[in-house]
């Protein structure tokens, strides 16, 4: 794994900086990064860890070349809401449909 929150300084701002840098390195847009940071700060520390860890997992998938740039259903550009379902990457809308019918 290229990125890991474990072993980083546990300070909230240090973790956000680490995650922003990882996302930038993996080509996420400034908007995506801002979204993650906003979500991370929206609630308590547990939420922060959850949101940042989710973003870090996506950075790792991109670093490994595992995550495509576009939805495998509709071709929309994937963002942080992208989800892997049954081995295929879906955009937020397609993932919602895949899960909810
Ligand atoms: Zn889609």
The pLDDT of residue 48: 96
Closest to 59 in 3D by CA, of 96, 32, 86, 77: 32
First CA to last CA across the chain, in angstroms?
33
The pLDDT of residue 34: 95
Going from the Cα of 71 to the center of ligand 1, the distance in angstroms, rounded, reads 5
pLDDT digits (tens, 9 = 90+) for 40-94: 999 999 999 999 998 998 899 888 877 788 998 999 988 767 887 777 888 989 9
Bigger pLDDT: 17 vs 78? 17
- Residue 77: phi and psi, rounded to 5, are -65, 135
Going from the Cα of 3 to the center of ligand 1, the distance in angstroms, rounded, reads 27
pTM for the structure as a whole: 0.71
- The whole-angstrom distance between residue 56's C-alpha and the CA centroid of its chain comes to 6
Going from the Cα of 15 to the center of ligand 1, the distance in angstroms, rounded, reads 30
């Amino acid at each position: 794994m290229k990125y890991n929150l474990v072993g980083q300084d546990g300070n909230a701002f240090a973790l956000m900086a680490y995650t922003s840098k990882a996302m930038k390195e993996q080509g996420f847009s400034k908007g995506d990064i801002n979204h993650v940071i906003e979500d991370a700060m929206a609630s308590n520390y547990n939420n922060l860890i959850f949101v940042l860890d989710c973003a870090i997992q996506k950075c790792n998938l991109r670093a490994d070349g595992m995550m495509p740039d576009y939805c495998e259903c509709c071709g929309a550009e994937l963002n942080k809401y992208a989800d892997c379902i049954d081995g295929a990457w879906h955009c937020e809308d397609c993932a919602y449909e895949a899960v909810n019918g």
